[in-house]
């Protein structure tokens, strides 16, 4: 006669195999985790060193395009394949003579003219010219947030005229009256073309996106006015 008591379950070979397999997977994961973490750190360091890097904006020299305490992301690889172009916002290692604080190594400015370009400003016109072509800078030049008045392209409407040396860049902040840039150095150095421009080799990368604060996230594009600038003759 069969008993009404339940017979104890006996683990099958398949159950034992599944249990062993799960244990091995768990053990394998914990053994591999340190390796995965090391790989992740190495990849992050490589990306930061050679490809992308975030930068903090410590001043108002690029207002209103970039505000104090913004963060941007720069492409550090792009200029391994080509030189910076007019209108691009770049991060560069500033010459020591440009720095009010020796620790302020990285500057961010807009490229206005490249090697061989003729760049000038005439207060009677109120425009910067590059190779004879007027720049329409209304889309990015600083506006007073209270009055809405847009500042002139040169501090105190001061005129300048020069040809940018080959292999160098004339760079300016979008807030021209509050920017330690090429125009400011041109005046301070009594119109020294080399002291007022930066070498292409000093460029760290192209700033291409504003990533913080989130509500102001935007892509940093080249203004259309630079499309019509002819190459130097």
Cα 131 from Cα 228, distance rounded (Å): 10
Asked if 48 and 94 sit in the same domain, the reply is no
Confidence of residue 102 (pLDDT cuts 50, 70, 90): confident
Cα 84 from Cα 111, distance rounded (Å): 8
Asked if 105 and 166 sit in the same domain, the reply is yes
Asked if 74 and 140 sit in the same domain, the reply is yes
| Domain CATH for 85 | 2.10.109.10
Please say whether the beta carbons of 109 and 171 come within 8 A. yes
Asked if 109 and 72 sit in the same domain, the reply is yes
Looking at residues 204-231, what average pLDDT do you find?
Answer: 96
Task: Say if residue 61's pLDDT is above 60.
Answer: yes
Cα 33 from Cα 61, distance rounded (Å): 45
Asked if 101 and 30 sit in the same domain, the reply is no
Residue of higher predicted confidence among 37 and 133: 133
Phi, psi for 86 (deg, rounded to 5): -55, 140
What are the pLDDT digits (tens) for 161-180?
999 999 999 999 999 999 99
> Domain total for the chain?
2
A 10 A CB-CB count for 159 gives: 11
Contacts made by residues 102-107, CB under 8 angstroms, sequence distance 24+: 104/58, 106/55, 106/204, 107/180
Asked if 64 and 161 sit in the same domain, the reply is yes
Looking at residues 30-44, what average pLDDT do you find?
Answer: 58
Q: Quote the tokens at residue 71.
A: 């963060």
Structural Rg of the chain based on CA atoms: 29
Range of the domain at 65: 57-228
Determine which helix (DSSP H) or strand (DSSP E) holds 85, and give its type and residue range: none
Asked if 42 and 148 sit in the same domain, the reply is no
**pTM attached to this predicted model:** 0.80
What are the pLDDT digits (tens) for 103-146?
889 999 999 999 999 999 999 999 999 999 999 999 999 999 99
Cα 114 from Cα 149, distance rounded (Å): 29
Asked if 38 and 148 sit in the same domain, the reply is no
Residues designated catalytic? 61, 109
The verdict on residue 62 lying in a domain is yes
Alpha helices in the chain (DSSP H): 13-46, 182-188
Asked if 45 and 119 sit in the same domain, the reply is no
Any idea how long the chain is? Answer: 233
């Amino acid at each position: 006669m069969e008993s009404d008591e339940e017979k104890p379950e006996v683990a099958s070979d398949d159950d034992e195999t599944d249990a062993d397999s799960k244990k091995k997977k768990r053990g394998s994961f914990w053994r591999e985790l340190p390796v995965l973490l090391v790989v992740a750190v190495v990849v992050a360091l490589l990306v930061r060193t050679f490809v992308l890097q975030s930068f903090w904006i410590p001043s108002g020299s690029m207002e209103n395009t970039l505000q104090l305490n913004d963060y941007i992301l720069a492409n550090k690889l792009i200029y391994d394949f080509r030189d910076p172009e007019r209108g691009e916002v770049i991060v560069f290692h500033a010459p020591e003579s440009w720095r009010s604080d020796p620790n302020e190594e990285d500057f961010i400015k807009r490229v206005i003219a490249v090697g061989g370009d003729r760049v000038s400003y005439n207060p009677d016109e109120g425009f910067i010219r590059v190779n004879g072509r007027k720049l329409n800078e209304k889309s990015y030049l600083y506006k007073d947030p209270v009055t809405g008045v847009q500042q002139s392209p040169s501090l105190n409407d001061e005129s300048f005229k020069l040809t940018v040396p080959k292999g160098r860049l004339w760079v300016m902040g979008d807030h021209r009256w509050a920017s330690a840039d090429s125009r400011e150095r041109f005046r301070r150095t009594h119109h020294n073309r080399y002291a007022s421009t930066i070498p292409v080799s000093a460029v760290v990368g192209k700033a291409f996106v504003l990533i913080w604060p989130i509500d102001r996230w935007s892509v940093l594009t080249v203004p259309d006015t630079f499309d019509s600038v002819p190459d130097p003759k």
